[in-house]
Structures are given as C-alpha cells and as structure tokens.
Amino acid sequence: MSKERVFDNLQIKIDNTKFSKISVFDIKIKLIFVAVNILLNNTIMKKLLLLTLILCSSLFCRAQEERVILGDEQTSEYFPILKGKRIAIFSNHTGMIGKKHLLDILLENKFNVVAIFSPEHGFRGDADAGEHVSSSVDKKTGVPILSLYDGKLGKPSDTSMRKFDILIVDIQDVGLRFYTYYASMCRLMDACAEYNRKVLILDRPNPNGHYVDGPILDMKFKSGVGWLPIPIVHGMTLGELALMVNGERWLPASRVCDLTVIPCKNYTHQTMYRLPIPPSPNLPNMTSIYLYPSTCYFEATPVSLGRGTSLPFQVYGHPNMTGYKYSFTPRSISGAKNPPQLNKLCHGVNLSTMSDEEIWKRGIDLSYVIDAYKNLNMGDHFFRSFFELLIGTDYVRKMIEEGKSADEIKAMWKDDVEKFKVQRKPYLLYQE
C-alpha cells in the first residue's frame, strides 16, 4: 500500500468523525486505533507513525483554535491599555484566567491595582443573596475591597471613584434581567461616566445566550432585580449589553462612558458554553442556570425553590402542597443561611432530571408557578409585590389568577422579544 493510499484511508476516518461533538482525547484515541490497524498490515511503520503523529498534532491545534478564548485570556490586547494606570477591578471568584485570578495576574505583571469592587455574594462569592457586603481588604493580596453602595444613589462614593483611572470588568454573568451583576456594572459605568473614568470589559460567554425570552421590563418596576428595559432572558454578553447601554443612552441623564470591550474568540450565540466555576452559591451547576429563568419567581411566593438544599432552583415545594411523591427539607447552609420553609418538609416537584435540551426547548416556563399556585389555593396570599419586580410587568399575575395557561401568557410577550432582537442587533459582537 502506498503512502498516499494510507493517508487517504486515514483521512476518510477522520472526516467521518463528528469533530465538533467529541473531545480532543476522543480524537486521539480514534487516531491511535486507526494507526495501529494500519501499522499491523504495513511494512513502512516508521513513516506511518510519523504521519499519525503529525495528524494528531494538527487536530490538537485545531481543537485549541476552536476553544472559546475569554477576553481576560487575551493579555496582549489589554495590557498596553493598563500601563501607567491606577486600576480598579469589578470581579469576584469567577474572574479566573486558567487557575489564577485576574487580580493575581495583574499584580504579578507589576500593574498598579488599587481597588476591588465586589458584587452581590461578595468578592469570594460566598455571601447570601441580598446579604450586605461591607468594604474590607482582600486577605490574599491586601488590595482594598470597596463598597458599590457607599455613595449617593447606590453608587460608589467620591472618595472611592478618585482612587482609580480605569475600571476592569471581569465577571461571569448568566444573562438574566434579575441576575444582579449587570446592574452593578451599569451603576459603575454611570459613576465612571460622571468621573471621566475608562471602563474596560473583558468579555465572557453568556450560558443563556442562545435565546431571548420574556417581557421587556416596564420601567415603573425598575429595581435592583430589573434595571434596564430588556427581556428577562436578553441573550447578550456583558460586553454587548454595555455597548447597548451606551448606544441607547440608558444611563441616568443619558450619560455615556468611555468603554472598550475585549471580545471572546471562537464564540457565537449558539455556543453552549458550560461554566467552569459556579457564578453564585445557589447556581451550583448548569441545570440550575438553565432552569433559573423559570423558577426564580418562587422567590416572590411562599414556595421553596430549593434554597438550603443541594438542588437550588431545580426543585419547588411547600409543606401544604399535596399529591406529590417528591419531598425535601431546606436547611441552613453556606449561601442560604435562612432559606424559605427552613427545616420544614416540603412536598413538590424535582426538575433536576430534565435534560438540557428539554429545558432549552421550553425557555421561560411559567407552568411550575401556575402548578404551585393552583395546588396551594391561597388566592391573593400566594404572590408578593416582589413578583412584579421579577417578571417586569403587571399582566402576568393577573393572567395566572384568571386561569390562563403558561403558553397563553408567553404569547403576550412574543412581540416584545421580536422588538428587542431588532433593537439589540447593532450591538452584538458575536454571530446569532
């Protein structure tokens, strides 16, 4: 058998492999298997072995090229911007470059990091939702951690803002209107616009970036869990969202900040990016992140959504719900010190066994809230006013109380979704 024919046979086997759906390890194993089979039936072993090694190397390089490369990994793109600057960082435990935090990387490279701004859950990501996070010092580096709320209007104080020249944003978001990291980013953008400070966003993928769903926020319900006129699932990265905030003049007084975004490489909005680090204590896995847009509304009801268990946002239940085989008991744990229905046996539903594909297909699914509402039969005592802040409009509660289905309610915001897709298009950095 000629070298050329051997190469053809090998190439055929490679081409028949669904490359995008298998790991580099799988590719190596397949190639070794093919190579061994060929070598056993050939006398030109050395040449074939060399060919196999070359092909393995080539495929490995290709896989590396197709890996999503985060904004913070591209140090050559932003290190020049930081030279001679006093640097503040808006980040938390997710701001990792490989196995090192961005903060450590900057300090190792002799950059002047003077301050850290930490979001909800704190710089190390272990505080409860809504828990007050005070100013302090990062124990590892000695860099001061400044409060986002020590000034007027929920923004950093004059003293805090005068400490730095440039703000770096490097934090993992999950792409939902009521997930508060983007709102903190917007407040910092506003403060930077007032004080003429530059904002540098090291972009990260959105794990819910493959779709848009939910009503656009009615701004009369603006709050800490809803800061912009966007759908619940907006499908944008923080970098894209920041560009939109500037472009649409959404900051107070129509201010615009000096903004630079370092985009991800090899990422599109259809890339199903799995987070290497849980972004907050009660989003421990991808199932919780995918279900979050459908189960968060239980925060505005007496129903437990699994805080204080190993399955937050993946189960729901209440001591008085009947007709269910599944049960759980919320406990006081790290990140959920005082969860709803603490130490009470709750009966309800376990959603954690759903496949990712089924969750994606459903998108925002209000059937879980409707199910609990009907089962408990509490009438006006089921919903708190916080529900409108989460859902962003006043018609959803009314429709649930009127007995409308989840599909009927979802049809109401269809036009909102299409309108927003058109509005956001100029600000997208990645292919839809």
- Confidence at 47, pLDDT banded by 50, 70, 90: low
Alpha carbons 281 and 300: distance in angstroms, whole number: 19
- Confidence at 66, pLDDT banded by 50, 70, 90: confident
Cβ burial, residue 169 (10 Å; 0-12/13-18/19+):
buried
Which residues are 259's β-sheet partners? 199
pLDDT digits 0-9 by tens, 306-342:
999 999 999 999 999 999 999 999 999 988 999 999 9
pLDDT digits 0-9 by tens, 86-95:
999 999 999 9
Contact status, residue 196 vs residue 165, Cβ threshold 8 Å: no
Q: Is this structure's pTM higher than 0.75?
A: yes
Average pLDDT over residues 207-225: 97
Alpha carbons 27 and 14: distance in angstroms, whole number: 8
The backbone region for 84, taken as left when phi is positive above 0, alpha when psi lies in -120 to 50, beta otherwise, is left
3-state secondary structure of 307: coil
3-state secondary structure of 264: coil
What pLDDT shows up at residue 8? 39
pLDDT digits 0-9 by tens, 274-292:
999 999 999 999 999 999 9
Contact status, residue 37 vs residue 29, Cβ threshold 8 Å: no
φ/ψ of 253, rounded to 5, equals: 60, 25
Q: pLDDT at residue 190 above 80?
A: yes
Q: pLDDT at residue 259 above 50?
A: yes
Alpha carbons 245 and 241: distance in angstroms, whole number: 6
Cβ burial, residue 80 (10 Å; 0-12/13-18/19+):
exposed
159 contact partners, CB below 8 Å, separation of at least 6: none
Average pLDDT over residues 158-173: 97
In the chain the domains, ranked by start, together with CATH numbers, are 3-66 (no CATH), 71-274 (3.40.50.12170), 286-422 (3.90.1150)
Alpha carbons 291 and 311: distance in angstroms, whole number: 11
- Confidence at 61, pLDDT banded by 50, 70, 90: very low
Alpha carbons 355 and 109: distance in angstroms, whole number: 43
Helix ranges restricted to H, 95-167: 102-108, 158-161
What pLDDT shows up at residue 123? 76
